[in-house]
Amino acid sequence: MYASLRLEVIDDNVRGRIRLFQAMCREAKLGVIATAFNPPPNRPWVARITGLDEKYGLKREFESGRMDYREANSVGSRGVYINYMLDDAYIYDVSERVSRRSRDRRFCRFEMGREIRMTKEDVTEWLKSKGLA
């Protein structure tokens, strides 16, 4: 069974303006200024946990979502969403911006379309029970 997860892309318009500024700086040979204005990592993301990893702790495969601009305001700073279809058989690592300054990072799985949050210890135990550890 699959579950739907919808995450808002807050301030997506800021990234576009910064990229435009960087391109203009590169064209004008102002490389130092262009590299000083890197866009903040503001896009939400979802990764499927596939096992344990010696270097990073957990092996992950990033999921691709579908952008939805139907509710976006005129500049795209709010109301832009990424929709993910996620399989109930896996655990996911989710990073979501909940405001302009804060982010919610969590492990979760889905049962009957409902999200269930998990701790890292729960994830490790689940991986061991499935023989993926």
Structural domain range at position 75: 2-11+41-129
> Is residue 25 a part of any domain in this protein?
no
pLDDT at 101 (0 to 100): 82
Q: Give the model confidence (pLDDT) of 95-130 as tens digits.
A: 998 887 889 999 999 998 899 999 999 999 999 898
* Alpha-carbon span 54 to 37, nearest angstrom: 33
> Is residue 53 a part of any domain in this protein?
yes
> Is residue 78 a part of any domain in this protein?
yes
Total residues belonging to the chain: 133
* Alpha-carbon span 110 to 82, nearest angstrom: 18
Q: Do the beta carbons of residue 101 and residue 117 sit within 8 Å?
A: no
Tell me how many degrees the CA angle 110-112-114 measures, rounded to the nearest 5. Answer: 50
> Is residue 116 a part of any domain in this protein?
yes
> Is residue 20 a part of any domain in this protein?
no
* Stated pTM of the model: 0.76
Give the pLDDT band (50/70/90) at residue 14. low
Q: Give the model confidence (pLDDT) of 24-60 as tens digits.
A: 777 776 655 555 555 455 689 999 999 998 888 899 9
> Is residue 119 a part of any domain in this protein?
yes
At residue 15, does pLDDT exceed 70? no
> Is residue 33 a part of any domain in this protein?
no
Q: Do the beta carbons of residue 21 and residue 111 sit within 8 Å?
A: no
* Alpha-carbon span 53 to 12, nearest angstrom: 32
> Is residue 21 a part of any domain in this protein?
no
pLDDT at 114 (0 to 100): 92
Domain count, the chain: 1
